[in-house]
Structure 1
Amino acid sequence: MSVSGGGVGGTRARVLQAALNGSRGAADGAAVPLSPGDLVRAARETVAAGAGEVLVHPRTPCGRESLSPRVVGPLLEEMRGAGVRVPLTVPAGVAAEQDPAGRLERVRSWTVLPDRAAVPFAEPGARELARALLERGVAVDAVVPMGGGAGPEPLARFLEWAPPDPARVRLVAELAEADPALVAGLRWLPPVPVVLFGRDSAAWPVLRLAARCGAGTRIGVAQVLHLPDGRAARSNAELVAAALDVEGAAGSATGTAWSR
Protein backbone atom coordinates (compact mmCIF):
# COMPACT_ATOMS: atom_id res chain seq x y z
CA MET A 1 0.00 0.00 0.00
CA SER A 2 1.30 3.49 -0.77
CA VAL A 3 0.68 6.88 0.73
CA SER A 4 -0.25 9.77 -1.52
CA GLY A 5 -1.38 13.18 -0.40
CA GLY A 6 -0.21 12.73 3.19
CA GLY A 7 -2.62 9.88 3.76
CA VAL A 8 -2.91 6.17 3.21
CA GLY A 9 -4.42 5.80 -0.21
CA GLY A 10 -5.18 9.53 -0.41
CA THR A 11 -4.86 11.84 -3.40
CA ARG A 12 -4.13 15.30 -1.98
CA ALA A 13 -0.83 17.14 -2.25
CA ARG A 14 1.61 16.32 0.54
CA VAL A 15 1.31 18.70 3.51
CA LEU A 16 4.22 20.74 4.87
CA GLN A 17 3.14 22.33 8.14
CA ALA A 18 5.21 25.11 9.70
CA ALA A 19 5.38 24.79 13.52
CA LEU A 20 6.16 28.33 14.61
CA ASN A 21 6.95 28.20 18.34
CA GLY A 22 5.88 25.10 20.30
CA SER A 23 7.34 25.02 23.80
CA ARG A 24 10.33 27.18 22.83
CA GLY A 25 11.09 30.44 24.59
CA ALA A 26 13.49 33.38 24.54
CA ALA A 27 16.32 31.19 25.83
CA ASP A 28 16.15 29.17 22.60
CA GLY A 29 17.36 32.06 20.48
CA ALA A 30 16.24 34.85 18.19
CA ALA A 31 14.63 32.48 15.65
CA VAL A 32 11.75 31.81 18.08
CA PRO A 33 8.83 34.22 17.55
CA LEU A 34 7.43 35.33 20.90
CA SER A 35 4.92 38.18 20.58
CA PRO A 36 1.67 37.96 18.57
CA GLY A 37 3.22 40.34 16.05
CA ASP A 38 6.29 38.12 15.71
CA LEU A 39 4.08 35.08 15.22
CA VAL A 40 2.04 36.80 12.53
CA ARG A 41 5.20 37.81 10.67
CA ALA A 42 6.61 34.30 11.03
CA ALA A 43 3.38 32.81 9.66
CA ARG A 44 3.41 35.09 6.63
CA GLU A 45 7.09 34.38 5.96
CA THR A 46 6.69 30.60 6.20
CA VAL A 47 3.73 30.64 3.83
CA ALA A 48 5.76 32.74 1.39
CA ALA A 49 8.57 30.17 1.73
CA GLY A 50 6.19 27.34 0.78
CA ALA A 51 4.43 26.08 3.93
CA GLY A 52 0.92 24.81 3.26
CA GLU A 53 -0.26 25.02 6.88
CA VAL A 54 0.72 26.79 10.09
CA LEU A 55 0.76 25.39 13.64
CA VAL A 56 0.93 28.03 16.37
CA HIS A 57 0.85 27.75 20.17
CA PRO A 58 -1.16 30.74 21.48
CA ARG A 59 0.33 32.26 24.63
CA THR A 60 -0.69 34.72 27.31
CA PRO A 61 1.33 37.97 27.70
CA CYS A 62 3.40 36.21 30.38
CA GLY A 63 4.29 33.42 27.94
CA ARG A 64 2.03 30.62 29.18
CA GLU A 65 0.33 28.39 26.63
CA SER A 66 -3.42 28.89 26.73
CA LEU A 67 -6.69 27.61 25.27
CA SER A 68 -8.60 30.66 26.49
CA PRO A 69 -10.83 32.22 23.83
CA ARG A 70 -9.35 35.59 24.84
CA VAL A 71 -5.91 34.31 23.77
CA VAL A 72 -6.71 31.96 20.88
CA GLY A 73 -9.28 34.13 19.13
CA PRO A 74 -7.31 37.39 18.80
CA LEU A 75 -4.20 35.60 17.52
CA LEU A 76 -6.17 33.73 14.85
CA GLU A 77 -7.96 36.91 13.83
CA GLU A 78 -4.68 38.81 13.59
CA MET A 79 -3.12 36.11 11.43
CA ARG A 80 -6.09 35.92 9.09
CA GLY A 81 -6.35 39.69 8.98
CA ALA A 82 -2.68 39.85 7.96
CA GLY A 83 -3.39 37.65 4.95
CA VAL A 84 -2.40 34.20 6.26
CA ARG A 85 -4.79 32.15 4.13
CA VAL A 86 -3.50 28.61 4.79
CA PRO A 87 -5.12 26.35 7.42
CA LEU A 88 -4.25 27.35 10.99
CA THR A 89 -3.78 24.73 13.71
CA VAL A 90 -3.57 25.21 17.48
CA PRO A 91 -2.65 22.53 20.05
CA ALA A 92 -5.18 21.34 22.60
CA GLY A 93 -3.19 19.51 25.24
CA VAL A 94 -1.95 19.40 28.81
CA ALA A 95 0.61 22.15 28.26
CA ALA A 96 -2.22 24.63 27.73
CA GLU A 97 -4.73 23.18 30.21
CA GLN A 98 -3.96 20.45 32.75
CA ASP A 99 -7.51 19.30 33.48
CA PRO A 100 -9.32 17.21 30.80
CA ALA A 101 -12.67 18.77 31.76
CA GLY A 102 -11.06 22.20 31.57
CA ARG A 103 -9.82 21.50 28.04
CA LEU A 104 -13.33 20.55 26.96
CA GLU A 105 -14.75 23.70 28.52
CA ARG A 106 -12.14 25.86 26.80
CA VAL A 107 -12.66 24.53 23.26
CA ARG A 108 -16.43 24.73 23.67
CA SER A 109 -16.07 28.40 24.60
CA TRP A 110 -13.98 29.38 21.56
CA THR A 111 -15.60 32.22 19.62
CA VAL A 112 -13.01 32.18 16.81
CA LEU A 113 -12.23 28.70 15.52
CA PRO A 114 -8.95 27.36 14.13
CA ASP A 115 -9.09 25.18 11.05
CA ARG A 116 -7.52 22.27 12.95
CA ALA A 117 -6.57 21.38 16.51
CA ALA A 118 -3.77 19.02 17.54
CA VAL A 119 -4.93 16.54 20.20
CA PRO A 120 -2.23 14.42 21.92
CA PHE A 121 -3.61 10.86 22.16
CA ALA A 122 -1.06 10.05 24.87
CA GLU A 123 -3.00 12.33 27.23
CA PRO A 124 -6.20 11.57 29.18
CA GLY A 125 -9.50 12.63 27.65
CA ALA A 126 -8.13 12.77 24.10
CA ARG A 127 -11.04 11.02 22.41
CA GLU A 128 -13.65 13.15 24.17
CA LEU A 129 -11.75 16.31 23.33
CA ALA A 130 -11.33 15.32 19.69
CA ARG A 131 -15.04 14.54 19.42
CA ALA A 132 -15.94 17.94 20.90
CA LEU A 133 -13.69 19.69 18.40
CA LEU A 134 -15.24 17.84 15.46
CA GLU A 135 -18.69 18.75 16.73
CA ARG A 136 -17.61 22.40 16.62
CA GLY A 137 -16.44 22.01 13.02
CA VAL A 138 -12.71 21.94 13.85
CA ALA A 139 -10.67 19.25 12.09
CA VAL A 140 -8.48 17.08 14.33
CA ASP A 141 -4.82 16.14 14.19
CA ALA A 142 -4.53 13.06 16.42
CA VAL A 143 -0.94 13.25 17.67
CA VAL A 144 0.59 9.86 18.49
CA PRO A 145 4.19 9.33 19.73
CA MET A 146 5.96 6.30 18.29
CA GLY A 147 9.27 4.75 19.35
CA GLY A 148 11.62 5.86 22.08
CA GLY A 149 9.68 4.08 24.81
CA ALA A 150 6.34 5.68 23.90
CA GLY A 151 4.59 2.31 23.98
CA PRO A 152 1.62 1.15 21.87
CA GLU A 153 -1.15 2.72 23.97
CA PRO A 154 -1.53 6.10 22.19
CA LEU A 155 -1.82 4.49 18.74
CA ALA A 156 -4.19 1.85 20.13
CA ARG A 157 -6.30 4.61 21.68
CA PHE A 158 -6.51 6.30 18.30
CA LEU A 159 -7.40 3.07 16.48
CA GLU A 160 -10.15 2.30 19.01
CA TRP A 161 -11.70 5.73 18.55
CA ALA A 162 -14.78 5.99 16.36
CA PRO A 163 -14.85 9.66 15.27
CA PRO A 164 -18.18 11.12 14.15
CA ASP A 165 -16.51 12.69 11.09
CA PRO A 166 -13.48 10.57 10.07
CA ALA A 167 -12.96 12.61 6.91
CA ARG A 168 -11.83 15.50 9.13
CA VAL A 169 -9.28 13.47 11.12
CA ARG A 170 -5.56 13.14 10.45
CA LEU A 171 -2.95 10.99 12.20
CA VAL A 172 0.16 12.95 13.18
CA ALA A 173 2.89 10.53 14.26
CA GLU A 174 5.83 11.89 16.24
CA LEU A 175 8.71 9.49 15.58
CA ALA A 176 11.54 9.21 18.08
CA GLU A 177 13.82 8.19 15.20
CA ALA A 178 13.62 7.74 11.45
CA ASP A 179 13.00 4.01 11.65
CA PRO A 180 11.04 2.63 8.66
CA ALA A 181 9.82 -0.18 10.92
CA LEU A 182 7.85 2.37 12.96
CA VAL A 183 6.11 3.55 9.81
CA ALA A 184 5.55 0.15 8.20
CA GLY A 185 2.75 -0.75 10.60
CA LEU A 186 0.79 2.34 9.60
CA ARG A 187 -0.03 0.72 6.25
CA TRP A 188 -2.81 -1.14 8.08
CA LEU A 189 -4.45 2.08 9.26
CA PRO A 190 -7.89 3.20 8.13
CA PRO A 191 -7.70 5.55 5.11
CA VAL A 192 -6.76 8.72 6.98
CA PRO A 193 -4.08 11.26 6.04
CA VAL A 194 -0.75 10.77 7.82
CA VAL A 195 1.80 13.37 8.90
CA LEU A 196 5.23 12.34 10.26
CA PHE A 197 7.62 14.49 12.25
CA GLY A 198 10.53 14.30 14.68
CA ARG A 199 12.20 16.62 17.14
CA ASP A 200 15.75 17.94 17.43
CA SER A 201 18.19 15.29 16.17
CA ALA A 202 15.32 13.25 14.69
CA ALA A 203 13.68 16.16 12.85
CA TRP A 204 15.57 16.07 9.55
CA PRO A 205 15.91 12.27 9.29
CA VAL A 206 12.15 11.88 9.90
CA LEU A 207 11.39 14.57 7.33
CA ARG A 208 13.44 12.63 4.76
CA LEU A 209 11.58 9.44 5.70
CA ALA A 210 8.24 11.24 5.32
CA ALA A 211 9.26 12.40 1.84
CA ARG A 212 10.17 8.85 0.85
CA CYS A 213 6.84 7.61 2.20
CA GLY A 214 4.83 10.35 0.51
CA ALA A 215 3.50 11.41 3.91
CA GLY A 216 2.95 14.94 5.12
CA THR A 217 5.42 16.48 7.54
CA ARG A 218 6.02 19.33 9.99
CA ILE A 219 9.02 21.60 10.45
CA GLY A 220 9.81 24.78 12.35
CA VAL A 221 11.59 25.99 15.45
CA ALA A 222 9.07 24.04 17.52
CA GLN A 223 10.78 20.91 16.18
CA VAL A 224 14.39 21.87 15.45
CA LEU A 225 16.66 24.91 15.77
CA HIS A 226 19.27 23.87 13.21
CA LEU A 227 19.37 23.45 9.46
CA PRO A 228 20.32 20.10 7.91
CA ASP A 229 23.97 21.19 7.65
CA GLY A 230 24.11 21.99 11.39
CA ARG A 231 23.95 25.78 11.12
CA ALA A 232 21.57 27.58 13.46
CA ALA A 233 18.33 28.49 11.70
CA ARG A 234 17.63 32.21 11.52
CA SER A 235 13.86 31.81 11.15
CA ASN A 236 10.97 29.44 10.60
CA ALA A 237 10.92 30.48 6.95
CA GLU A 238 14.54 29.35 6.53
CA LEU A 239 13.61 25.95 7.99
CA VAL A 240 10.64 25.64 5.62
CA ALA A 241 12.79 26.48 2.61
CA ALA A 242 15.38 23.90 3.72
CA ALA A 243 12.62 21.32 4.23
CA LEU A 244 11.40 21.78 0.67
CA ASP A 245 14.94 21.23 -0.60
CA VAL A 246 15.30 18.09 1.53
CA GLU A 247 11.93 16.76 0.39
CA GLY A 248 12.86 17.31 -3.23
CA ALA A 249 16.08 15.37 -2.79
CA ALA A 250 14.47 12.54 -0.84
CA GLY A 251 11.23 12.25 -2.81
CA SER A 252 12.66 10.09 -5.59
CA ALA A 253 12.04 7.03 -3.40
CA THR A 254 8.44 7.99 -2.55
CA GLY A 255 6.24 5.15 -1.41
CA THR A 256 8.89 2.56 -0.61
CA ALA A 257 8.31 2.51 3.13
CA TRP A 258 4.63 1.71 2.65
CA SER A 259 4.86 -1.11 0.15
CA ARG A 260 3.49 -4.50 1.21
Structure 2
Amino acid sequence: MPDESTRRMLLQACLNGAREVTAHPGLSADATLAAADAARAVAAGAQAVHVHPKDAEGRDSLAADDVATWVRALRSACPGVPIGVTTGAWIEPDVEKRLTAIAEWTELPDHASVNWHETGADRVAALLLSRGVGVEAGVWDATGLEAWSTSPSRAACTRVLIELPDEAAEVVRRHAEGLIAHVRIDEPSVPILLHGEERSAWPALTLAVEIGVDSRIGLEDTLTLPDGRTAPDNASLVRAASALVHSR
Protein backbone atom coordinates (compact mmCIF):
# COMPACT_ATOMS: atom_id res chain seq x y z
CA MET A 1 0.00 0.00 0.00
CA PRO A 2 1.24 3.56 -0.66
CA ASP A 3 2.20 5.60 2.35
CA GLU A 4 0.24 8.64 3.53
CA SER A 5 2.32 11.18 1.61
CA THR A 6 1.81 9.28 -1.65
CA ARG A 7 -1.96 9.09 -1.14
CA ARG A 8 -2.09 12.86 -0.71
CA MET A 9 -0.20 13.54 -3.92
CA LEU A 10 -2.22 15.66 -6.35
CA LEU A 11 -2.22 14.44 -9.94
CA GLN A 12 -3.43 17.07 -12.38
CA ALA A 13 -4.43 16.40 -15.98
CA CYS A 14 -3.07 19.03 -18.40
CA LEU A 15 -5.33 18.47 -21.36
CA ASN A 16 -4.03 20.41 -24.33
CA GLY A 17 -1.60 23.28 -23.83
CA ALA A 18 -0.66 25.54 -26.70
CA ARG A 19 -0.31 22.65 -29.13
CA GLU A 20 -2.01 22.83 -32.51
CA VAL A 21 -5.12 20.66 -32.44
CA THR A 22 -3.68 18.79 -35.42
CA ALA A 23 -0.73 17.58 -33.29
CA HIS A 24 -2.68 14.63 -31.88
CA PRO A 25 -6.08 13.02 -32.53
CA GLY A 26 -6.99 13.55 -28.86
CA LEU A 27 -6.78 17.34 -29.16
CA SER A 28 -9.78 19.42 -30.15
CA ALA A 29 -11.00 22.99 -30.44
CA ASP A 30 -14.42 21.75 -29.32
CA ALA A 31 -14.98 22.37 -25.60
CA THR A 32 -17.57 19.59 -25.35
CA LEU A 33 -15.15 17.00 -26.74
CA ALA A 34 -12.38 18.28 -24.47
CA ALA A 35 -14.70 18.07 -21.46
CA ALA A 36 -15.51 14.45 -22.23
CA ASP A 37 -11.78 13.79 -22.49
CA ALA A 38 -11.28 15.50 -19.12
CA ALA A 39 -13.94 13.30 -17.53
CA ARG A 40 -12.13 10.20 -18.74
CA ALA A 41 -8.87 11.55 -17.32
CA VAL A 42 -10.54 12.15 -13.96
CA ALA A 43 -11.95 8.62 -14.02
CA ALA A 44 -8.39 7.40 -14.67
CA GLY A 45 -7.09 9.13 -11.54
CA ALA A 46 -6.67 12.88 -12.07
CA GLN A 47 -7.89 15.08 -9.21
CA ALA A 48 -7.65 18.43 -11.02
CA VAL A 49 -7.65 19.69 -14.59
CA HIS A 50 -5.58 22.36 -16.34
CA VAL A 51 -6.79 23.50 -19.74
CA HIS A 52 -6.06 26.13 -22.38
CA PRO A 53 -9.42 27.47 -23.60
CA LYS A 54 -9.49 27.74 -27.39
CA ASP A 55 -11.23 29.99 -29.87
CA ALA A 56 -13.11 28.65 -32.89
CA GLU A 57 -9.85 28.36 -34.86
CA GLY A 58 -8.18 26.31 -32.12
CA ARG A 59 -5.93 29.09 -30.80
CA ASP A 60 -5.36 29.72 -27.10
CA SER A 61 -7.77 32.38 -25.89
CA LEU A 62 -8.32 34.67 -22.92
CA ALA A 63 -11.59 36.03 -24.33
CA ALA A 64 -14.44 35.91 -21.83
CA ASP A 65 -16.77 33.94 -24.10
CA ASP A 66 -14.15 31.29 -24.83
CA VAL A 67 -13.08 30.93 -21.21
CA ALA A 68 -16.71 30.69 -20.10
CA THR A 69 -17.52 28.03 -22.71
CA TRP A 70 -14.57 25.85 -21.73
CA VAL A 71 -14.87 26.26 -17.97
CA ARG A 72 -18.61 25.53 -18.05
CA ALA A 73 -18.11 22.46 -20.22
CA LEU A 74 -15.40 21.03 -17.99
CA ARG A 75 -17.33 21.79 -14.79
CA SER A 76 -20.37 20.02 -16.18
CA ALA A 77 -18.36 16.96 -17.19
CA CYS A 78 -16.19 16.91 -14.04
CA PRO A 79 -18.36 18.07 -11.12
CA GLY A 80 -16.41 18.95 -8.00
CA VAL A 81 -13.04 18.79 -9.78
CA PRO A 82 -10.94 22.00 -9.65
CA ILE A 83 -10.56 23.52 -13.11
CA GLY A 84 -7.61 25.75 -13.98
CA VAL A 85 -6.72 27.77 -17.07
CA THR A 86 -3.68 29.53 -18.47
CA THR A 87 -2.92 33.26 -18.59
CA GLY A 88 0.14 32.88 -20.82
CA ALA A 89 1.59 36.06 -22.30
CA TRP A 90 1.91 34.42 -25.72
CA ILE A 91 -1.88 34.65 -25.99
CA GLU A 92 -1.86 38.42 -25.48
CA PRO A 93 1.61 39.97 -25.11
CA ASP A 94 0.22 43.42 -24.26
CA VAL A 95 -0.15 43.46 -20.47
CA GLU A 96 -2.99 45.98 -20.42
CA LYS A 97 -5.01 43.99 -22.94
CA ARG A 98 -4.31 40.78 -21.04
CA LEU A 99 -5.55 42.34 -17.80
CA THR A 100 -8.65 43.68 -19.54
CA ALA A 101 -9.45 40.25 -20.95
CA ILE A 102 -9.12 38.59 -17.52
CA ALA A 103 -11.20 41.33 -15.88
CA GLU A 104 -14.00 40.52 -18.33
CA TRP A 105 -14.20 36.82 -17.44
CA THR A 106 -17.73 35.90 -16.39
CA GLU A 107 -17.23 32.20 -15.63
CA LEU A 108 -14.31 32.08 -13.22
CA PRO A 109 -12.01 29.04 -13.05
CA ASP A 110 -10.91 27.69 -9.70
CA HIS A 111 -7.34 28.72 -10.41
CA ALA A 112 -5.14 30.04 -13.20
CA SER A 113 -1.44 29.64 -13.92
CA VAL A 114 0.74 32.74 -14.02
CA ASN A 115 4.25 32.46 -15.44
CA TRP A 116 6.44 34.63 -13.27
CA HIS A 117 9.10 35.20 -15.92
CA GLU A 118 6.49 37.02 -18.01
CA THR A 119 6.03 40.77 -17.97
CA GLY A 120 3.05 41.76 -15.84
CA ALA A 121 2.93 38.59 -13.75
CA ASP A 122 2.42 40.45 -10.45
CA ARG A 123 -0.46 42.46 -11.88
CA VAL A 124 -2.10 39.40 -13.43
CA ALA A 125 -1.81 37.51 -10.13
CA ALA A 126 -3.21 40.41 -8.11
CA LEU A 127 -6.20 40.70 -10.46
CA LEU A 128 -6.93 36.98 -10.27
CA LEU A 129 -6.71 36.97 -6.48
CA SER A 130 -8.98 40.02 -6.26
CA ARG A 131 -11.57 38.07 -8.25
CA GLY A 132 -11.31 35.00 -6.02
CA VAL A 133 -9.33 32.92 -8.52
CA GLY A 134 -6.44 30.90 -7.12
CA VAL A 135 -2.98 31.43 -8.59
CA GLU A 136 -0.60 28.70 -9.67
CA ALA A 137 2.83 30.35 -9.86
CA GLY A 138 4.76 29.05 -12.85
CA VAL A 139 8.51 29.04 -12.21
CA TRP A 140 10.68 27.91 -15.11
CA ASP A 141 14.08 29.39 -14.31
CA ALA A 142 16.11 31.70 -12.09
CA THR A 143 14.48 34.80 -13.58
CA GLY A 144 10.99 33.60 -12.72
CA LEU A 145 12.11 32.36 -9.32
CA GLU A 146 13.57 35.75 -8.41
CA ALA A 147 10.46 37.58 -9.61
CA TRP A 148 8.18 35.28 -7.63
CA SER A 149 10.34 35.44 -4.49
CA THR A 150 9.93 39.24 -4.34
CA SER A 151 6.26 39.27 -5.35
CA PRO A 152 3.64 40.70 -2.98
CA SER A 153 1.37 37.84 -4.10
CA ARG A 154 3.93 35.13 -3.26
CA ALA A 155 2.34 33.84 -0.06
CA ALA A 156 -1.18 33.90 -1.54
CA CYS A 157 -0.42 31.44 -4.33
CA THR A 158 -2.33 28.17 -4.34
CA ARG A 159 0.80 26.30 -5.40
CA VAL A 160 4.08 26.76 -7.24
CA LEU A 161 4.50 24.97 -10.53
CA ILE A 162 8.11 23.94 -11.03
CA GLU A 163 8.10 23.60 -14.80
CA LEU A 164 11.03 21.89 -16.48
CA PRO A 165 11.78 22.38 -20.18
CA ASP A 166 12.34 19.67 -22.75
CA GLU A 167 15.67 18.43 -21.39
CA ALA A 168 17.58 15.20 -20.95
CA ALA A 169 16.46 12.91 -18.15
CA GLU A 170 19.86 13.01 -16.46
CA VAL A 171 19.60 16.74 -15.66
CA VAL A 172 16.03 16.66 -14.38
CA ARG A 173 16.85 15.90 -10.74
CA ARG A 174 19.52 18.59 -10.37
CA HIS A 175 17.37 21.21 -12.12
CA ALA A 176 14.21 20.37 -10.18
CA GLU A 177 15.78 20.04 -6.75
CA GLY A 178 17.59 23.37 -7.14
CA LEU A 179 14.35 25.25 -7.90
CA ILE A 180 12.38 23.40 -5.22
CA ALA A 181 15.02 24.20 -2.57
CA HIS A 182 14.75 27.92 -3.29
CA VAL A 183 10.95 27.86 -3.24
CA ARG A 184 10.97 26.11 0.13
CA ILE A 185 13.32 28.72 1.57
CA ASP A 186 10.87 31.48 0.63
CA GLU A 187 7.58 29.66 1.36
CA PRO A 188 8.16 26.40 3.26
CA SER A 189 4.49 25.44 3.33
CA VAL A 190 3.42 26.24 -0.23
CA PRO A 191 2.41 23.14 -2.22
CA ILE A 192 4.75 22.38 -5.12
CA LEU A 193 3.72 20.75 -8.39
CA LEU A 194 6.66 19.45 -10.40
CA HIS A 195 6.29 18.63 -14.07
CA GLY A 196 8.30 18.54 -17.27
CA GLU A 197 7.63 18.55 -20.97
CA GLU A 198 8.54 16.15 -23.77
CA ARG A 199 11.76 14.35 -22.71
CA SER A 200 11.53 15.57 -19.11
CA ALA A 201 7.81 14.82 -18.59
CA TRP A 202 8.05 11.26 -17.26
CA PRO A 203 11.37 11.74 -15.40
CA ALA A 204 9.87 14.77 -13.65
CA LEU A 205 6.71 12.88 -12.70
CA THR A 206 8.75 9.95 -11.40
CA LEU A 207 10.86 12.35 -9.32
CA ALA A 208 7.73 14.05 -7.98
CA VAL A 209 6.42 10.70 -6.77
CA GLU A 210 9.78 9.94 -5.16
CA ILE A 211 10.10 13.21 -3.24
CA GLY A 212 6.41 13.56 -2.39
CA VAL A 213 5.30 16.63 -4.35
CA ASP A 214 2.34 17.06 -6.69
CA SER A 215 2.61 16.54 -10.43
CA ARG A 216 0.66 16.58 -13.66
CA ILE A 217 0.51 14.75 -16.97
CA GLY A 218 -1.39 15.13 -20.20
CA LEU A 219 -1.13 15.92 -23.87
CA GLU A 220 0.08 19.43 -23.06
CA ASP A 221 3.32 18.00 -21.67
CA THR A 222 3.86 14.80 -23.65
CA LEU A 223 2.29 12.76 -26.41
CA THR A 224 3.95 9.53 -25.33
CA LEU A 225 3.55 6.90 -22.64
CA PRO A 226 6.51 5.93 -20.42
CA ASP A 227 7.49 3.17 -22.84
CA GLY A 228 7.67 5.61 -25.76
CA ARG A 229 4.44 4.60 -27.47
CA THR A 230 2.10 7.36 -28.60
CA ALA A 231 -0.62 7.87 -26.00
CA PRO A 232 -4.17 7.39 -27.35
CA ASP A 233 -5.55 10.14 -25.10
CA ASN A 234 -5.19 12.00 -21.83
CA ALA A 235 -6.80 9.20 -19.85
CA SER A 236 -4.07 6.77 -20.90
CA LEU A 237 -1.40 9.19 -19.72
CA VAL A 238 -3.16 9.72 -16.39
CA ARG A 239 -3.63 5.98 -15.98
CA ALA A 240 0.11 5.40 -16.49
CA ALA A 241 0.93 8.18 -14.05
CA SER A 242 -1.48 6.79 -11.45
CA ALA A 243 0.22 3.43 -11.75
CA LEU A 244 3.54 5.10 -10.91
CA VAL A 245 1.99 6.90 -7.93
CA HIS A 246 0.50 3.74 -6.50
CA SER A 247 3.60 1.66 -7.10
CA ARG A 248 5.48 3.64 -4.45
- 1:129-140 alignment, distance < 5 Å: 129-140=124-135
Residue of structure 1 aligned with 2:211, choices 210, 213, 218 = 213
Residue of structure 2 aligned with 1:235, choices 233, 236, 240 = 233
TM-score, normalisation: structure 1: 0.85
Q: Relative to structure 2, which stretch is displaced further, 127-136 or 77-86?
A: 77-86
2:186 alignment partner in structure 1: 189
Cα distance in structure 2, aligned partners of 1:204 and 1:210: 10
Cα distance in structure 2, aligned partners of 1:62 and 1:72: 14
CA positional deviation for 1:181: 5.2
Off by >6 Å, runs of 4+ in structure 1 = none
2:197 alignment partner in structure 1: 199
CA positional deviation for 1:25: 2.0
CA deviation vs aligned residue, 1:48-84 (integer Å, no higher than 9, x gap): 1110100110011011211111110122112222343
CA deviation vs aligned residue, 1:86-106 (integer Å, no higher than 9, x gap): 100000011221211111111
Secondary structure of 2:172's match? coil
Residue of structure 1 aligned with 2:77, choices 79, 82, 101 = 82
CA deviation vs aligned residue, 1:189-225 (integer Å, no higher than 9, x gap): 3121100000001000000111111110010000000
Matched-pair contact (CA < 8 Å) for 1:5–1:15: no
Is residue 116 from structure 1 mapped to residue 111 from structure 2 by the alignment?
Answer: yes
Residues 1:219 and 1:131: Cα distance change in structure 2 (over 3 Å): same
Matched-pair contact (CA < 8 Å) for 1:173–1:194: yes
Q: Relative to structure 2, which stretch is displaced further, 57-66 or 12-21?
A: 12-21
Is residue 173 from structure 1 mapped to residue 162 from structure 2 by the alignment?
Answer: yes
2:168 alignment partner in structure 1: none
CA deviation vs aligned residue, 1:88-141 (integer Å, no higher than 9, x gap): 000001122121111111111111100000001111000111011001000000
Residue of structure 1 aligned with 2:151, choices 156, 161, 165 = 161
| Aligned amino acid, residue 16 of structure 2 | N
Equivalent pairs: percent with the same residue?
Answer: 36
Task: Specify every segment of 5 or more residues in structure 1 that has no aligned partner in the other structure, as ranges.
Answer: 7-11, 147-151, 252-260
CA positional deviation for 1:26: 3.3
| Aligned amino acid, residue 87 of structure 2 | A
Residues 1:170 and 1:83: Cα distance change in structure 2 (over 3 Å): closer
CA positional deviation for 1:27: 3.1
Secondary structure of 1:178's match? helix
Cα distance in structure 2, aligned partners of 1:208 and 1:82: 29
Cα distance in structure 2, aligned partners of 1:38 and 1:24: 16
Root-mean-square deviation (CA, aligned residues, Å) is 1.9
Secondary structure of 1:179's match? helix
1:39 alignment partner in structure 2: 34
Cα distance in structure 2, aligned partners of 1:19 and 1:84: 17
- 1:9-158 alignment, distance < 5 Å: 13-146=8-141, 152-158=142-148
Q: Name the count of aligned residue pairs.
A: 236
Residues 1:214 and 1:189: Cα distance change in structure 2 (over 3 Å): farther
Task: Specify every segment of 5 or more residues in structure 2 that has no aligned partner in the other structure, as ranges.
Answer: 166-170
Q: Relative to structure 2, which stretch is displaced further, 49-58 or 72-81?
A: 72-81
CA positional deviation for 1:32: 2.1
Residues 1:5 and 1:56: Cα distance change in structure 2 (over 3 Å): farther
Matched-pair contact (CA < 8 Å) for 1:15–1:216: yes
Matched-pair contact (CA < 8 Å) for 2:162–2:176: no
